[in-house]
Amino acid sequence: MNTNNNLYTVVYSTIIVVVVAAILAWAAMALKPKQDANIKAETISQMLDAAKIQAKGEAASNDAVLDKYAETIQAAFTVNAAGEKVKDLSTDRASLELADGLKAQNTNLKKGSDVELPVYIFGKDGKKVTVVPVYGAGLWGPVWGYVAFDEDLKTILGAYFDHESETPGLGAKIKDDPEFRAQFVGKKADFSAEPVFSVLKNAAQDNQVDAITGATMTSKGLGAAIGTWLAAYKPYFTANAPKEKCCDRPDCQCAEGVPCNHEHDHEEMKEEE
C-alpha cells in the first residue's frame, strides 16, 4: 500500500482511534469497581468524621473504613418529605449500601418534588448518633458534607464538609480548617426558626456559626445548603426526637409546644386528689 496517499492515512488513523478507544473502555471497566470502592470509602469516612467515630484519614485502608462503618452503623434508610421511611439501606458488611445522588435530591428539594433523604444512625459510647447529608452551591462549584446529631436530634456533635473547587486558603477552609468545623460542635438546629441553621458574620445564636473571613460566597452557599437540607429533615427529626420532660416528676407531662407551670400543675394534681 502506498503510505503517502490519503487512503492509507484514513485507514491508519481509524485503526489507531479504534484501538485506543477499546483500551480506554477496557481500562474504565476494569477500574470501575476500584473507583466505586474509593467513592464509598470516602463518603463513609466523611460520615465517621462528622460523628466523631473515626477521624478522616485515620484508617489505613478502604477495608478498615468499611469495617468501622459496619461495626458502628445501627440503621440506614431514606425518608420522604413527610419524614416517613421510604426504604432501608443495607448495613451488611458484604453489601453496604449508601444513598447517592445528593445533587439530584438537592434539585428536587428546590423544585418541591419527591425526595428520598438518607438517614444514618450510628452507635457511639452507648448513644445513638444520627448523621444526615447537606448539599449546595459554593462560589465555584458544589459544596457538601455531613452533620451529626446527638440523641435529642437538635444538638450537633460534629460536621464534615467538602467541595469541588473552592479557593485554597479561603473557601476551601470549609474542609481544610478544623477550627471552622469545630464551631458546629454543641450548636443546635432550631426547627422552629427560618432558617434552621446559618453560617454568617458575627454569629450570636445557638443555630449560627461564624462565616470564613474572605470567603463570603462560599460561607453563604454552605449556610444555605445546611439550612435547606435540615429544614427538609424537620418532619423526621421532630417526629423522632425524644419528648422533653417539663419537670422531674414521672407523672408530669406538658402539652406539645406549651411550657408547663410546675407549681400550678402540681397544685391542680393535689386538688384533684
For residue 103, how many other CB atoms are within 10 A of its CB?
Answer: 13
Does residue 227 sit in helix, strand or coil? helix
Please list the pLDDT of the chain residue by residue as tens digits (273 residues).
566 677 777 777 888 888 888 887 776 666 555 666 788 999 999 999 999 999 988 888 999 999 999 999 999 999 999 999 999 999 999 999 999 899 999 999 999 999 999 999 999 999 999 999 999 999 999 999 999 999 999 999 999 999 999 999 999 999 999 999 999 999 999 999 999 999 999 999 999 999 999 999 999 999 999 999 999 999 999 999 997 666 556 556 555 545 555 444 444 444 444
pLDDT of residue 3: 64
- Tell me if 65 sits within 8 A of 48, measured CB to CB: yes
d(CA 131, CA 144): 13
Cα dist from 30 to 23, 36, 38, 97, 221, whole Å: 10, 11, 14, 21, 37
pLDDT of residue 272: 45
Q: Pick the closest to residue 181 from 73, 46, 62, 43 (CA basis).
A: 46
d(CA 236, CA 151): 13
Amino acid identity at 25: A
pLDDT of residue 271: 45
pLDDT of residue 249: 61
d(CA 125, CA 17): 58
pLDDT of residue 245: 60
d(CA 161, CA 47): 10
pTM to 2 decimal places? 0.80
Q: Pick the closest to residue 155 from 226, 221, 241 (CA basis).
A: 241
Q: Pick the closest to residue 220 from 158, 187, 165, 174 (CA basis).
A: 174
pLDDT of residue 258: 52
d(CA 269, CA 32): 67
pLDDT of residue 244: 67
- Tell me if 138 sits within 8 A of 161, measured CB to CB: no
Domain boundaries, the chain: 35-240
pLDDT of residue 270: 44
pLDDT of residue 266: 46
Q: Pick the closest to residue 215 from 158, 177, 159, 160 (CA basis).
A: 177
pLDDT of residue 182: 97
- Tell me if 76 sits within 8 A of 119, measured CB to CB: yes
d(CA 202, CA 223): 14
